[in-house]
Amino acid sequence: MQPDLFTLEPPACTASARLVRLELDVSGESIAIAVVGQFDSGKPFARAVTTRVLKCLPQELGYACYSFGSLLVADYLSTPDGQHWHPPLAGINVGPSFSVEADDEESTIHTALERCALFHPAASPQIEPVSVGDPMPRPAEESRFVHAVRTEVLQRKPTLEPGFNRPFSLTGASSGFSIDYIGHSYATCYAAINPKGRSPVRLRTASAALWRLARARDAFGFATPDRVELTAWIPAPGLPIYRDSEYAALEDAVAELRAQAHREHLQVFTAHDILSASRRLINEELMTVN
């Protein structure tokens, strides 16, 4: 029998993959922000759909797609058993498994990413690049709070400057994340929760900060600071610009954050102004140093 000259060779690389989606509570829509999976060889892989902040989306949503996708990738790759992996953030769902194949591993991942609407294989004018080592972009209100606290702390205690914006990485994965402050006795990340904000991802941004703190604490080992907590700005009670319903929503959000922090054996410190947040850092850091 003559060999079939048109028989196709099997692909060099095959894998099973799943899309990880960010749910938008208000509209009921979801956006794929990461792909996770496993090659037939057993080797795991994970890739964020976008490695840049998307300027074509509202600021907090563009930030979330980029930063949450990167966070989920780091968490998946640090989990020993990816088959039983669960996203560490609420409002994230993992889709069913599907098969992908290509000539090599990178092409196989690329094939999976092509199923995602936000995936752009080449740079786009609507995408703002973020250099390795740069501070991670964050929502404007949160960014202003972090900057103001840092400025106030350094005016009072300039020697604490090395503790700000400290990078860390997870075993087996380069996370690209940083902690807002890590010192000898104190570590914190900052969040801002405005009850007038309608963004469906705002609470999840604070939840992501808790995740970074928990993973950094795990990486510290014996060098863990005495106190590791999330510092969340919230408005003072009784302000006339906020309705009772908005304050009630704020209480629910803080309660949810505290519950998440408790599960990670962390704490949440709420601050109504820049001075209370800066005093908290200085007092906790210098309590045992001096």
pLDDT in tens, the chain (290 residues): 455 544 555 557 899 999 999 987 666 788 899 999 999 988 999 999 987 777 767 667 777 888 888 889 988 988 877 778 989 888 899 999 999 998 889 999 999 999 998 887 754 444 444 433 344 567 778 889 999 999 999 999 999 999 999 887 664 444 467 899 999 999 999 999 988 865 556 678 888 899 889 988 887 776 789 999 999 999 999 999 999 999 998 999 899 999 999 999 999 999 999 999 999 999 999 875 54
d(CA 140, CA 117): 26
Angle at 67 between CA 61 and CA 71, to 5 degrees: 135
Question: DSSP for 1-49?
Answer: ----TTPPPPPSEEEEEEEEEEE-TTT--EEEEEEEEEETTS-EEEEES
pLDDT for residue 180? 95
HSE, side-chain direction, 13 A CA sphere, residue 66: 24
Q: Is there a contact between 46 and 36 (Cβ–Cβ < 8 Å)? A: yes
pLDDT for residue 142? 87
Strand partners, 245: none
Three-state DSSP string of 170-210: ECCEEEEEEEEEECCCEEEEEEECCCCCCCCCHHHHHHHHH
pLDDT for residue 200? 59
Which domains are delineated in the chain?
A: 13-128 (no CATH), 140-286 (3.40.50)
pLDDT for residue 151? 96
HSE, side-chain direction, 13 A CA sphere, residue 284: 21
